[in-house]
């Protein structure tokens, strides 16, 4: 744990535009409070079970009618963990009692996150009928934890545009793929001198009515509620910045089945206030979504 914390701190120090403020950076290196979190947006997606099954008339085997289009609604989800480091050893201790956490989104009203215990705070747009958890590309996002009268702030300066993977959007409207075979997708090229955003892929099995499996069949995304996973991301981001995205065949285990592929593009931010550990990290991003049907 100590090596991971030090590596994350060194990486953040090298990357941070605030590194020129020596006093502030020094305070962040020794700050006991830490935060990790994410805000990730997923758009809605439509697919036709009949088209995938190769039917063109009558009724489907499950009783549905041809021409039915299933819509999986989009959602924006926010997570954060707020805690205290234990002398760089072991899992950080969560802070729940007497603390609150909110999101400040450029041009929007602040949004409070609900405490779930063990230092975890969450919010989803599906519980907000007025859409109070928006995703705005180009906007800044500030995660603000308040505890004992002090604010601890981590910021993503510019939420990225949605990055589309052409391989997820063939003319048929879905990807035809062989079960148990790896699927490789290419990310768009980036301009010379620019750094590619982080990219995470997650795959879920889908039922004929669009119901999503409870657990993914595959993901390479760090758990945004796991501070150690996010610290590893800060220390070694190269795993998620390559141009090729290879999904193992085990993500598509069954014949004649449908899977949802979610590819999140995210920007990585860090501490803004000097009372937050420099290894703290927050992610903000949006997703491209595609449907895969196996044969």
pLDDT band at 6 (very low <50, low <70, confident <90, very high): very low
Q: Please, which contacts does 145-151 make with residues 24 or more away whose CB atoms are closer than 8 Å? A: 145/33, 145/35, 145/80, 145/82, 145/95, 145/99, 145/100, 145/101, 146/99, 146/100, 146/101, 146/102, 147/33, 147/82, 147/95, 147/98, 147/99, 147/100, 148/98, 150/275, 151/273
- Please name which of 261, 258, 176 lies closest in space to residue 209, comparing C-alpha atoms: 258
pTM of the model: 0.83
Instruction: Break the chain into its structural domains and give their ranges.
Output: 2-287
pLDDT band at 53 (very low <50, low <70, confident <90, very high): low
Q: Residues 136-173: pLDDT tens digits?
A: 999 999 999 999 999 999 999 999 999 999 999 999 88
Q: Residues 199-249: pLDDT tens digits?
A: 999 999 998 778 888 899 999 998 866 777 877 888 888 889 999 999 999
Inter-residue contact 235 to 175 (CB < 8 Å): no
Residue 2 predicted with pLDDT over 60: no
- List, in sequence order, every beta strand (DSSP E) within the chain: 33-42, 45-47, 70-72, 75-84, 93-94, 99-105, 111-117, 120-124, 141-147, 150-156, 175-177, 183-186, 198-206, 218-219, 244-247, 258-271, 281-294
DSSP class of residue 280? -
Inter-residue contact 100 to 92 (CB < 8 Å): no
Out of 96-100, 113-117, 209-213, 224-228, pick the least confident.
Answer: 224-228
The first and second tokens of residue 58, run together, are 């009558």
């Amino acid at each position: 744990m100590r090596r991971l914390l030090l590596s994350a701190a060194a990486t953040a120090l090298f990357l941070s535009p605030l590194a020129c403020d020596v006093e502030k950076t020094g305070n962040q290196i020794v700050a006991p409070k830490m935060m990790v979190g994410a805000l990730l947006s997923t758009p809605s997606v439509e697919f036709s079970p009949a088209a995938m099954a190769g039917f063109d008339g009558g009724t489907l085997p499950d009783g549905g009618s041809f021409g039915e289009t299933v819509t999986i609604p989009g959602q924006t989800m926010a997570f954060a963990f707020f805690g205290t480091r234990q002398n760089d050893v072991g899992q950080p201790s969560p802070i729940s009692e007497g603390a609150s956490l909110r999101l400040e989104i450029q041009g929007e009203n602040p949004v409070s996150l609900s405490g779930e215990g063990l230092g975890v705070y969450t919010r989803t747009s599906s519980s907000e009928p007025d859409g109070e958890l928006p995703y705005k590309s180009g906007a800044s996002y500030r995660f603000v934890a308040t505890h004992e009268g002090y604010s601890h702030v981590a910021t993503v300066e510019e939420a990225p545009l949605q990055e589309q993977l052409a391989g997820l959007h063939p003319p048929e409207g879905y990807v035809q793929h062989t079960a148990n075979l790896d699927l490789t997708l290419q990310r768009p090229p980036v301009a010379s001198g620019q750094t590619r955003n982080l990219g995470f892929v997650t795959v879920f099995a889908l039922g004929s009515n669009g119901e999503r499996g409870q657990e993914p069949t595959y993901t390479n995304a760090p758990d945004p509620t796991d501070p150690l996973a996010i610290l590893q991301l800060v220390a070694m981001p190269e795993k998620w910045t390559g141009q090729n995205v290879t999904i193992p065949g085990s993500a598509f285990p069954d014949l004649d089945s449908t899977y949802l592929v979610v590819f999140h593009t995210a920007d990585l931010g860090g501490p803004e206030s000097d009372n937050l550990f420099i290894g703290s990290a927050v992610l903000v991003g949006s997703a491209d979504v595609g449907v895969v049907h196996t044969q």
